[in-house]
Each structure stands twice: as structure tokens, then as C-alpha cells.
Amino acid sequence: MSGEIQHINPDGLPKNPAFSQIVTIQGSGKTIYIGGQDAINEKGEIIGKNNIAEQTEQVMNNLQTALSTCSANFENLVKLTIYIVQGQDLYSAFQTSQKFFGQLSNPPVISVLIVAGLANPDFLIEIDATAFIPEQ
């Protein structure tokens, strides 16, 4: 049996083009868990100090790299957890992420947490992800 991903936005819950309310996975395939990605480039340098938009772009690039390494892309995402440091401009981070997610036919489910801080005081945003590639 091959895997199937179903995105559900039922009546009774708000509908938003930026995220799905429910994602179910049934059948065979490969599940990919991506640990929290921060605004660090391949050289270990922090990108966009004090700039949530630049940091979000680097985090999204890191997610894209992680997914492509596993033969996946943003369409395979089923769950994101986004951690944003308190006081940051959420709208700016959202606008930047939509450059990557804006055209998804089925966006993932998303949880956003406002936190006091992250592992490094220069980090403003961190995203971890789960993706699924159905068996062909």
C-alpha cells in the first residue's frame, strides 16, 4: 500500500490559506523529522543579527536544504513548529516565510510559540519540521 497525505480543513474550524488544520498520513512512505533550524549558514555564521526577516529567510533556506537532501520539498511538509522570540515582528517573519510557502496547494499544520529566548541570544526564530514522502 502506498502512502497518502490528506489535508483537512473541516467546517467548524477557521480556514486559512497559510496552514491546514489537520494532516493525516496513511500507508507506506518515508517520514522526515528536521530538528530546529536557526539562522546559521553552512559556515556556522549567524545571518541577520537583529533582523527577523533575514533570519527567517536563512531558516527557510536551511529547511529547503534539509528537505532536498532527503529528496523532498516544501509540498512534503506536514507539520511545522515555529519558535519566535518575544517582541519580534511576526508579520515580517510571516511575509518572508510566504516567499517559500505561499504557493503550496496544501500547507502544513503549524504551531507558533512565542518564547523568552532560544539557544543563542542572537537567534530570533527557530523552526522544526516533519515531512512525509509517500511510497510510489
Q: Domains in the chain, ordered, with CATH?
A: 4-134 (3.30.1330.40)
Q: Evaluate if residue 115 carries a pLDDT over 90.
A: yes
DSSP strand pairing (109-115 vs 77-85) = parallel
pLDDT digits (tens, 9 = 90+) for 116-132: 999 999 999 999 999 99
Burial class (CB in 10 A: 0-12, 13-18, 19+), 10: exposed
The whole-chain average pLDDT of the chain stands at 93
